[in-house]
Structure 1
Amino acid sequence: MKRRAVSIIIVAYNSSNKIDKLLKSLILNCKYINEVIVIENNSPDRNATHRKCEKYSNKIKLTFVENENVGFGRSCNKGASLSKGDQILFLNPDTELKTSSIQILLNHMELTHADIIGGKTISYKGEIHGSVVRAPNIAVGLFEFTNLGKLFNIKKWHKYFYYEDRKMSLTDEDQLVDAVSGAYLLITRKAFQRLNGFDMNIYMYLEDVDLGIRANEMGMRVVYCPHSEIWHIGGASSNDVHKIHHKAWYDSRKYYFKKHFGVLTNAILQPIFVTEEFVFKFINRIRE
């Protein structure tokens, strides 16, 4: 099996205290890496992140790009446009690769003829994060994308969305899926160009789901590979920006359903989304 040149794209925001572990782990996988591009989205700790990157720049080909905070998807697209590899691997800055993570993912991309492939993301406590998801439907929008599922203790659609009803976290076989997590997503350059990258109208959240759905609609193969594992802390870029975090989520869920669903579904969901958004804004103002 021939060696493939992979470009790593990392979008960083308030990530200086997490990115060090990722950069160290990339060095262990450097045999399979053509380049690393870090897009720094004008965060308060950008200088600290820059210093962390400089520390490893003599061990791996690393480019640090200062960028306006234009959102995750746009920044990923910018990183991809600067890259040269045949495959593009998007990684969250709060992840850490195992020694053979990239090798396994590349091998299984070739074995499964995947256009997009994602691996298993695990917390340091051993919990499996949302590595793979189904295409959202109206019930997912109602009970998983709002707090109604928690309010009424309805877990069915959470399990459906994350493939937990198929016990995907326990499988040891590659699976064709609707979408994989953008925290650990490998895509061929050809597929990324056909898809025109991530939807630039999505600031943050659901851009990976949208990418997978569009890929499936175009007849591409989206694969989940449980053999390739990484550690994922979660929340490194949004813990300290709650208002941006919530606004991005509110905007993304509204946009996603407007884009992918018809008038009837949106007539049901959009008022619920807007009402919940208003309620939480009101609660936050009281707390402030």
Structure 2
Amino acid sequence: MKKLSIVIVTYNSLNDIINCIDSIYRTNDLSVNEIEIIIVDNSSIEVFAEMQMLVCEKFEDVRFIHNPSNGGYGQGNNVGIEASNAKIICVANPDIIIQKPMFKKVIESFHSNKKLSVIGGKQMGGINLSFWIRPEFEFFLLTTPLMILLNKLNVYFEKFCFISGALLFIDKEKFERIGLFDENIFLYREESDIVKRFLKTNYTTHFDKELVYKHLVDDRNKVNEFAFNEEMKATSYYMQKYNFSFKYFIFQRLFYCYITKCFYFLTLKKAKYLEVNKIIRKLKNFNF
């Protein structure tokens, strides 16, 4: 019987997926027949076929699902979760590398705490952050340095924070009770949304600093127009869904950007100054 189903949603992820799967098998502390890996690919059929061939050359027993609709992170994960066989789900990004064994500990944690719904681990590398404050509690000038400090200290407050979705372990039955991922969210804010729903049903979430993984992300300070627009759309949807003010969120981010812009001007950091200026223009132009 499967104890853990690992769902990985991919989109043009040929450069990452082999290393990700290799780290799963290399650090697996369960028996091989107790885990399953399900790849849900949102790419074109040609890219999907190429990835399937490359993965199958190196690994056995990896399941593949081609998802032609590409409904985003949440929808893709829902497809994989619905096809899974284990009671515990691991939702993983294709660009993560698991650093040490953790699966047995995760399963024992769920068995020992019947209210536990989600477990997240310690993200390593660069400025990667394991958890962050939910958008309704954001006050950028204060919460940004505070959250960076709390991540360094490994202090997680489930009432105010969400755990990074790069690697999440979820109780499948509890997740099904709250409706799985909200497919109205294409990208960003999925973690805040599921944590919010779990807490409303009196389940708990947990951050474990011993569950260490590396997340190979690009520079988060660079302005990517698609990512920015998706973040704003998702934030607007999330804030409206839970009756919070999206306009106030935008105002706070603008205020924070103006402060950082002044700082970069005074410290002669031209590249960062111009980058923040781009963000300010985008925030002003965003229709909220």
Q: Which residue of 2 aligns with 1:149?
A: none
The answer (yes or no) to whether the contact 1:40–1:66 under 8 Å persists in 2 is: yes
The answer (yes or no) to whether the contact 1:115–1:187 under 8 Å persists in 2 is: yes
Q: Which residue of 2 aligns with 1:233?
A: 216
Give the counterpart letter for 1:115 in structure 2: S
Deviations 1:95-141 (A, max 9, x none): 01134122233333334442111111112xxx46221223322644x
SS at match of 1:116: strand
The answer (yes or no) to whether the contact 2:40–2:64 under 8 Å persists in 1 is: yes
Q: How does 1:23-102 map to 2 (within 5 A)?
A: 23-28=21-26, 29=28, 31=31, 33-43=34-44, 45-58=47-60, 61-68=61-68, 69-102=70-103
Deviation at 1:246, TM superposition (A): 2.8
Q: Which residue of 2 aligns with 1:254?
A: 236
Distance 1:259 1:270, change over 3 A: farther
Report the Cα distance in structure 1 between the residues aligned to 2:113 and 2:152, rounded to whole angstroms. Answer: 19
RMSD: 3.2
Report the Cα distance in structure 2 between the residues aligned to 1:103 and 1:234, rounded to whole angstroms. Answer: 27
Deviation at 1:278, TM superposition (A): 9.5
Deviation at 1:255, TM superposition (A): 0.9
Give the TM-score normalised by the residue count of structure 1.
0.76
Q: Which residue of 1 aligns with 2:118?
A: 116
The answer (yes or no) to whether the contact 2:91–2:165 under 8 Å persists in 1 is: yes
Give the counterpart letter for 1:157 in structure 2: T
SS at match of 1:204: coil
The answer (yes or no) to whether the contact 2:11–2:41 under 8 Å persists in 1 is: yes
SS at match of 2:51: helix
Q: Which residue of 1 aligns with 2:270?
A: none
Deviation at 1:176, TM superposition (A): 4.6
Deviations 1:60-95 (A, max 9, x none): x21111112210001011110011101000000000
Gaps of 5+ in 1: 144-153, 284-288
Distance 1:267 1:248, change over 3 A: closer
Report the Cα distance in structure 1 between the residues aligned to 2:145 and 2:50, rounded to whole angstroms. Answer: 39
Distance 1:176 1:138, change over 3 A: closer
Deviations 1:160-193 (A, max 9, x none): 4x3x45x34334x887554211111101111110
